[in-house]
């Protein structure tokens, strides 16, 4: 078989592996950086070369055929070996260049870029592949080796998952600037019983924490809007639509600009601790390992300088956790 033929087949095997792992043509295409029709064409060509279907679709649901199920482990092994080879090459090159695959929770976008920028300042040849996922997707990305590291709020108690605390991020109750309760101390929930509230949708990890707090305190808010975007919630509060529960990191800019007021609510709202996590015994690329060490040692200083006096230090968090 010619080298050109080998490369062509290998490319098609990678397409099949991405489809089989994602069980979705669109996600596979996005991951590979090609169009969805291109994925469909290459998969069909591979099936013609093998002489058997690999994937079948019933309605909108994809599944592997028996032939596809037998081929998938081999393709997965090829992909993993290629990843290991890339890691080895990166280690030979040293920290001067390389890639870091990092997935983060939605609210972490307010502080993770600060860490990335500080690391890249000292290591300008490093490329970060950053994805923003929901909680379940974050954990799946580690399981499937799509991400070397994740930033997640609250480290799940799962076997084989380890991490370091990097930021303490309390929930806060925000109101429009000039709200009558702004500046008052220890505002009880009964004082805000008649206020309209802007809430995140139920898939939001922040909203899950808020719901637990409200349930524990037997408080049922009047909901004026539900949104799947933290930015939409903040804009709504600024416009005077109502109050909202958000994380402190997400409102640093607006609070400093005087666009919103943070209310002193009693009882205190819960705090989320963000972790940089990975699978135990994960074989890191050299640059991912360097970034992990950098965050462990420098996150306190970098985040406080980038976002002002928000959150507590990583050192204090470690003391709190011990």
Answer whether 147's CB lies under 8 Å from 102's CB.
yes
End-to-end CA, the chain: 60
Cα distances from 119 to residues 47, 116, 123, 124, 278, in angstroms, run 45, 5, 6, 8, 19
CATH no. for 89-167+273-321: 3.40.190.10
List the Cα angle 59/63/65 in 5-degree steps.
120
What is the predicted pLDDT for the residue at 311? 36
CA distance 44 to 68: 12
CATH no. for 169-271: 3.40.190.290
Write out the residue limits of the CATH 1.10.10.10 domain(s) in the chain. 3-78
CATH no. for 3-78: 1.10.10.10
If you search the block for the tokens 């979705």, which residue do you land on? Answer: 24
Closest CA to 108 of 116, 99, 98, 100: 116
The CB density around residue 147, as the number of other CB atoms within 10 Å, is 27
Write out the residue limits of the CATH 3.40.190.290 domain(s) in the chain. 169-271
pTM: 0.64
CA distance 3 to 103: 35
What is the predicted pLDDT for the residue at 314? 36
What is the predicted pLDDT for the residue at 111? 92
- Tell how far CA 108 is from the center of its chain: 7
For residue 82, say if its preceding peptide bond is cis, omega within 30 degrees of 0.
no
Walk along the chain (322 residues) and give the pLDDT tens digit of each residue: 666 777 888 889 999 999 999 898 988 888 888 898 999 999 999 999 999 999 998 887 889 999 999 999 999 888 888 877 766 666 555 555 788 999 998 889 999 999 999 999 888 888 999 999 888 889 989 888 889 999 998 888 888 899 999 998 999 999 999 999 999 999 999 999 999 999 988 767 788 889 999 999 999 999 999 998 889 999 999 999 999 999 998 998 999 999 999 999 999 999 989 999 999 888 787 888 889 999 998 888 888 776 544 333 333 333 333 3
Closest CA to 32 of 46, 53, 48, 16: 16
What is the predicted pLDDT for the residue at 272? 87
């Amino acid at each position: 078989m010619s080298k050109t033929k080998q490369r062509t087949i290998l490319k098609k095997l990678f397409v099949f592996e991405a489809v089989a792992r994602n069980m979705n043509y669109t996600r596979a295409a996005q991951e590979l950086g090609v169009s969805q029709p291109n994925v469909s064409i290459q998969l069909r060509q591979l099936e013609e070369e093998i002489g058997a279907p690999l994937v079948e679709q019933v309605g909108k649901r994809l599944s592997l055929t028996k032939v596809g199920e037998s081929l998938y482990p081999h393709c997965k092994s090829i992909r993993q070996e290629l990843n290991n080879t890339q890691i080895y090459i990166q280690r030979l090159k040293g920290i001067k260049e390389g890639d870091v695959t990092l997935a983060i929770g939605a609210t972490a976008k307010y502080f993770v870029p600060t860490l990335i920028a500080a690391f890249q300042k000292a290591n300008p040849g490093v490329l970060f592949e950053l994805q923003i996922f929901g909680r379940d997707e974050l954990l799946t990305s580690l399981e499937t080796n799509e991400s070397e590291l994740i930033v997640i709020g609250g480290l799940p108690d799962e076997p084989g998952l380890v991490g370091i605390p990097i930021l303490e991020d309390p929930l806060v109750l925000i109101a429009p600037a000039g709200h009558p309760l702004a500046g008052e101390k220890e505002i009880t929930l009964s004082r805000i019983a008649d206020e309209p509230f802007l809430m995140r949708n139920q898939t939001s990890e922040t909203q899950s924490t808020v719901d637990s707090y409200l349930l524990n305190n037997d408080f049922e808010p009047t909901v004026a809007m539900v949104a799947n975007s933290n930015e939409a919630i903040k804009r709504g509060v600024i416009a005077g639509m109502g109050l909202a529960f958000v994380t402190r990191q997400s409102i640093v800019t607006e609070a400093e600009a005087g666009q919103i007021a943070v209310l002193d609510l009693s009882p205190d709202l819960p705090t989320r601790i963000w972790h940089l996590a990975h699978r135990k015994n994960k074989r890191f690329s050299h640059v991912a390992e360097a970034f992990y060490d950098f965050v462990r040692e420098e996150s306190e200083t970098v985040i406080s300088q980038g976002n002002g006096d928000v959150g507590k230090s990583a050192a204090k968090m470690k003391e709190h956790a011990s």
